[in-house]
Chain A
Amino acid sequence: MSSIITRRTLVAGAAAASTLPLLGRSAFAQAPLGVGFIYVGPVGDHGWSWTHDQGRKALEKQYGDKIKTSFIENVAEGPDAARALRQLAQAGNQLIFATSFGFMNPTIQVAKQFPKLKFEHATGYQRAENVATYNARFYEGRAVIGTIAGHMSKSGQAGYIASFPIPEVVMGINAFTLAARKVNPNFKTKVIWASTWYDPAKEADAAKALIDQGADVITQHTDSPAALQAAEQRGVFAFGQASDMSAFAPKAHLSAIVDDWSGYYIKRVKDVMDGSWKSGDVWGGIKDGFVKLAPFNAAVTPAARAAAEEVQKGIVAGTLHPFTGELKDQKGVLRLKSGETASDEMLSKMDWYVEGVQA
């Protein structure tokens, strides 16, 4: 049941209650667990917020009448978020997901005021007794598409439309480039900083500029499918971001890194139900089902497909880490010794580029 149909449910519920008084109170003893979400964008952004809403829908499918979910979309990061969170808390939700980095401080603040409620904050690093954090290892997905790019690129040059040089984005660029260079040691990744998460026309123009300069595979860390459309128009390959974007570029779309939060959400709701919920920090990857790859395009060659699947298998089995030494950065500084793998701390602070990145 979603809050959007609250009024209808209310009427239906009232009708049911009035016609079934003989059933007694037992039927109503188990009130549904309230689960609330706040999203930074519209659920229709076809990107980040949309994927979180897919997670919410998965919850409804899984638990049916046992839970009641509601969401508030387009919540601005900052004070507005505190108000939205408080509203959800007062509406009787017992578990609340705050799904954007900028909701961090408001979440901590509101959680203090409602110590009995549980809060979950995506991509943050501040925790409390009743505030847990969770994030996805998108760089694992980047390693898989980097492998495909290494095989599919004829010019040996990829174009990467990036938003801002924060660790999350930098680690994606590095993971992609490292994987591509394992296939083609001369592979180059040209980065354009769009200085925005979302500006479709600029993202498309950036893709065109990269293609003009010789890139024949486009990938992005911005939110709109515009770059894919540009790639389709120019007849080069590209990858989708956050969700399967093949509808926008049936020929160009080789695959996409798909965010899937449903498994985590289902588990955390279960934890609240049986009283085992604890605060903590979960960083899930391909193995945990947080990160998935969209179906490969028929254009992906058998060799590329096999290599990509092998990387994926290796990551799941734990035998392959996208950041494994010996690894030097562009300036020649040794970052990882031979055989050493990057720690989570190193990843979350990454501010250097590997060989082959032009940023």
Chain B
Amino acid sequence: MNSVILVSIIMTLVAASTPILLAALGELVVEKSGVLNLGVEGMMLTGAVAGFAVAFSTGSVALGLVASVIAGIATAMIFAVLTLSLTANQVATGLALTIFGVGASSLIGAGFVGRTIDRLGPLFPEVLASHPWLRALFGHDIIVYLSLALVLGVSVFLRRTRAGLILRAVGENDASAHAIGYPVIGIRYAAIAFGGALAGLGGAYFSLALTPMWADRLTAGRGWIALALVVFSAWKPGRLLLGAYLFGAVMTFELQAKAAGITWLAPEVLAMAPYLATILVLTMMSLGRKTGRLDAPACLGKPFSVS
């Protein structure tokens, strides 16, 4: 295998992993605060359609990215109001949010089907990425570098800052955090907004960078993979990065193997590979542990109300 192909595979791998990484990182913070938002796919879709609509109408991909963040937050706020202020069931509301996102994005996007825009280009000038190996380092767009910075940022935030400690406290024991005087609901609102912003941005990565167009259900289920990755990572940003790239790698190698003519493996088996890998790692992680908790925040999914 020559280096040109290898670098090309790396580029594809990174691009395929980035939207999942973004959405999963947002959800990780949400879950760390004790909230389970299953509406990731829905928020990704509204982000994707808003990003495309604005980028197409204004001609600016940057404005599209901003719009996708706003749309993601707006969608997440529906979930926040229902589950935090009205203490609705989080699982049911999250699922409903996904269904809502599919429908709403389809409605908004109806007028943009069949249109295309110039995709989000590499961040660094062409000169830096002239050599194949340099391209693997400097040939990506801004969202890729942003997602990596965010992983570092979230990791530092959760483990090294006071605000991160409070967020984790809210997720581990909401009643105690409330008793000490922390605004549990307010902190969870903020976490859900952050999750919505990153899911929206992840969705826009499809409509602005990967496949610069709008079509119904553009994200094709990546939001669910992001949710699984959070569990896979045991709520640790570093491991989330690893998981997202591993998943992207398996997806990319699956296609490369088929293109390279490895036909003795049934296509269905190859299509299962990413999911099999997920199950395998999850099993291995829980092997060697006495509790089956996998380090989930203790208050995950439990409604909280001040009474």
Q: Does A264 contact B (CB under 8 A)?
A: no
**A41 B255 Cβ-Cβ under 8 A:** no
Contact check, A45 vs B113: say whether CB atoms are below 8 A apart. Answer: yes
CB neighbours of A123 from chain B (8 A) = none
CA–CA, A12 and B245, complex, Å = 60
Contact with B along A192-216 (1 / 0, CB 8 A): 1101101111101110111011010
Q: Which of A196, A201, A215 has a CB less than 8 Å from the CB of B259?
A: A215
Say yes or no: B259 contacts A190, CB within 8 Å. Answer: yes
Q: Are B210 and A247 in contact (CB under 8 A)?
A: no
At the interface, yes or no: A335 with Cβ under 8 Å from chain B? no
Residues of B within 8 A of A165 (CB): 267
* A242-278 contact mask (Cβ, 8 Å, vs B): 1 or 0: 0000011000000000000000000000000000000
Q: How many residues of A contact B (CB 8 A)?
A: 36
Selected contact of A359 from candidates B219, B220, B263, CB within 8 Å: B263
A229 touching B116, Cβ below 8 Å: yes
Q: A192-B258, A212-B259, A247-B116 are in contact. Are A229 and B267 (CB under 8 A)?
A: no
Q: Across the interface, do B211 and A226 meet the contact criterion of CB distance under 8 Å? A: yes
Bound-state CA distance A200–B213 (Å) is 9
Of B8-16, B134-142, B169-177, the one with at least 4 CB within 8 A of chain A = B8-16
Contact of A205 among B110, B212, B255, B268 (CB under 8 A): B255
Assess whether B216 is in contact with A205, with CB atoms less than 8 Å apart.
Answer: no
Q: Check A206–B255 contact: CB distance below 8 A.
A: yes
State A205–B221 Cα separation when bound (angstroms): 16
Residue-wise interface mask of B (166-191) relative to A, using a CB-CB cutoff of 8 A (1 in contact, 0 not): 00000000000000000000000000
Q: Is the CB of A225 within 8 A of B213?
A: yes
Given the known inter-chain contacts A195-B267, A200-B218, please indicate yes or no for A208 contacting B12, CB distance below 8 A. Answer: yes
Alpha-carbon separation in the docked complex, A264 to B69 (Å): 47
Residue on A nearest B103 in the bound complex, by CB = A74
Which chain A residues lie closer than 8 Å to B161 at the CB level?
none
Per-position contact with A for B229-271: 1 when CB-CB < 8 Å, else 0? 0000000000000000000000110011011110100011011
Q: For B271, list chain A residues within 8 Å (CB).
A: 193, 195
Q: Does A201 lie within 8 Å of B16, measured CB to CB?
A: yes
- Chain A hits for B219, CB < 8 A: 201
Contact with A along B106-139 (1 / 0, CB 8 A): 1001100111100100000000000000000000
Q: Shortest distance in angstroms between B217's beta carbon and chain A's nearest beta carbon? A: 7
Closest to A203 in B: B211
Closest chain B residue to A162 by CB distance?
A: B267
Q: B215 at interface (Cβ–Cβ under 8 A)?
A: yes
By a CB distance below 8 angstroms, the chain A residues around B215 are: 44-46, 198, 200, 224-225
Q: Which of B5, B12, B114, B217 meets A198, CB within 8 Å? A: B217
Q: How far is the CB of B258 from chain A (nearest CB, A)?
A: 4
Q: Are A209 and B220 in contact (CB under 8 A)?
A: no
Q: Are the C-beta atoms of A199 and B213 separated by less than 8 Å? A: no
Q: Does A159 contact B (CB under 8 A)?
A: yes
Q: Which residues of A, 230-244, contact B by the 8 Å Cβ criterion? A: 233
Tell whether B32 is near chain A: CB-to-CB under 8 Å. Answer: no
Kindly state the separation between the CA atoms of A209 and B219 in the bound complex, as whole angstroms.
Answer: 20
> Which of B110, B216, B252, B259 interacts with A213 by CB under 8 Å?
B259
* B267 / chain A contacts, CB cutoff of 8 Å: 165, 193, 195
Q: Is A358 an interface residue (CB 8 A)?
A: yes
Contacts of A202 in B (CB 8 A): 220, 251, 255
- Name the residue of chain B whose CB is nearest to the CB of A233: B119
Q: Determine if A191 is an interface residue (Cβ-Cβ < 8 Å).
A: yes
Question: Does residue B206 face the partner (Cβ distance < 8 Å to A)?
Answer: yes
In contact, B116 and A201 (Cβ under 8 angstroms): no
Are the C-beta atoms of A192 and B255 separated by less than 8 Å? yes
Complex CA distance for A215 and B115, rounded to whole angstroms: 27
Q: Does A42 contact B (CB under 8 A)?
A: yes
A136→B256 CA distance, assembly (Å): 32
Which A residues are within 8 Å of any B CB, using their own CB? Answer: 41-42, 44-46, 159, 165, 190-193, 195-196, 198-202, 204-206, 208-210, 212-213, 215, 224-226, 229, 233, 247-248, 358-359
Residues of B within 8 A of A (CB): 5, 8-9, 12, 16, 19, 106, 109-110, 113-116, 119, 206, 210-213, 215-222, 251-252, 255-256, 258-261, 263, 267-268, 270-271
- Chain A to chain B: the 10 pairs with minimum beta-carbon distance, closest first: A193-B267, A44-B113, A209-B255, A195-B271, A213-B259, A199-B220, A226-B211, A209-B259, A200-B211, A192-B258
List 5 other contacts, CB 8 Å, given A44-B215, A201-B16, A201-B218.
Answer: A46-B215, A200-B213, A201-B211, A224-B213, A248-B116
Cross-chain pairs A/B with CB under 8 angstroms, 25 sampled: A42-B113, A44-B106, A44-B109, A44-B216, A46-B113, A46-B215, A190-B261, A193-B270, A198-B220, A200-B213, A200-B215, A200-B218, A201-B19, A201-B210, A201-B219, A201-B222, A202-B220, A209-B9, A212-B5, A212-B259, A213-B256, A224-B215, A225-B116, A226-B211, A233-B119
